[in-house]
Amino acid sequence: MEERFKTTGIIALFCILLVLCFLVLRPILLSIVVGMLLAFIFSPVYNLLYKKTNSKNLSASIICFSFAIILILGIWFFLPIAIEQSLKIYSSSQQMDFVGMLKSISPSFFASEDFSREVGSIIHSFITTSANSLSNSFSNILLNIPWLILQSFVVFLTFFYLLRDKEDLSNYLKSLSPFSKEVNDRFFEYSHGITSSVLYGFVIVGFLQGLIVGISLFIFGVPNAFLLTLLAVVSSMIPMFGPYFVWVPVVIYLLIAQNTFQAIGVSIFGIVSSTIDNILRPLIVSRRTSMPTSLVFLGMIGGFFFFGVLGFLIGPLVLAYLLIFLEIYRSKKS
């Protein structure tokens, strides 16, 4: 009886400490997760540097410092452009004749004046609201600089120490695991593979797809090309959306404006961008550790509602790790 009471007390104390730790870390939890994801993405680069320098501190410092410089320069140069272009889209949408555009696209479908006016009003409201939200989001970055500096410090602190001490951390987690060595090895192997599947297979490939679309926008002189490139990159990372979510409307706009040459050029780049994932993803991600697109999509939606923007990454990973546990349990049972 006394032994059971002690065990219950230890478990209760452990649960209380876990809850308190969560409450303490909650304001910076997403920053810690971002640092972990960055450490995973740049782990191959760290391994190469470590072979050259033979110094963990120096290798991790070079990667963190280089990434910080790129990030600061990117915000310094491109944030004002993004704000300016989002304001331009907002002001242009106020003067745009959406009803005339709809009738020029499909005169028979939008023959009814009331129907075309209603659809035009919906499109006008969507574009103006989206552009206004974008400009407000970019402006809030400038207004929340002290908060962003603190969060960035947490990100880079996590980034640095996970790069430097990833092997020690991995061994420590394995020592805490109640499972056998075989199960631990399989879990870490599957975890690494499935995380690569989500990060490299969707994020990195999606970034390249959006970048291809963005290059075409700059080459053919599409207005507000930088902001549209950002949207193309984000939509390319989301399954079921893809880069055509941006380049198809751009092509329609160019055709309406009678810029046929530019429309054809953007279409060619867009088709290449939309199909390149069929080539790159199998090369980057092993078929054995790939994650079904439907689960990635569901994880992104649920993660977005729970974690915000970072949920697009965190959500699929949470589902992936659950699948790993279920797969290991099924294998042991069989």
Give residue 69's pLDDT: 92
3-state SS string for the chain: CHHHHHHHHHHHHHHHHHHHHHHHHHHHHHHHHHHHHHHHHCHHHHHHHHHHHCCHHHHHHHHHHHHHHHHHHHHHHHHHHHHHHHHHHHHHHHHCCHHHHHHHHCCCCCCCHHHHHHHHHHHHHHHHHHHHHHHHHHHHHHHCHHHHHHHHHHHHHHHHHHHHCHHHHHHHHHHHCCCCHHHHHHHHHHHHHHHHHHHHHHHHHHHHHHHHHHHHHHHCCCCCHHHHHHHHHHHHCCCCCCCHHHHHHHHHHHHHCCCHHHHHHHHHHHHHHHHCHHHHHHHHCCHHHCCCHHHHHHHHHHHHHHHCCCHHHHHHHHHHHHHHHHHHHHHHHC
How far, in Å, CA of 158 to CA of 135, rounded? 30
The DSSP call for residue 203 is I
How far, in Å, CA of 265 to CA of 218, rounded? 11
Cβ contact 158:32 at 8 Å: yes
Give residue 255's pLDDT: 80
Give residue 157's pLDDT: 92
Cβ contact 188:174 at 8 Å: yes
Q: Over its length of 334 residues, how does the chain's per-residue pLDDT go in tens digits? A: 666 777 777 888 888 888 888 888 888 888 888 888 888 888 888 989 888 888 888 988 999 999 999 888 888 888 778 777 777 777 776 677 666 776 666 677 666 777 777 777 777 777 777 767 766 776 677 677 788 888 889 999 999 998 888 888 877 777 777 667 776 777 777 777 777 777 777 778 888 888 999 999 999 888 888 888 888 888 887 766 778 888 888 888 788 777 888 888 889 998 888 888 777 766 665 554 556 667 777 777 888 787 776 777 777 778 877 877 777 777 665 5
Give residue 283's pLDDT: 65
How far, in Å, CA of 137 to CA of 139, rounded? 5
How far, in Å, CA of 213 to CA of 228, rounded? 9
- CA-nearest of 314, 42, 30, 32 to 163 is 42
How far, in Å, CA of 216 to CA of 210, rounded? 10
Cβ contact 78:226 at 8 Å: yes
Cβ contact 201:289 at 8 Å: no
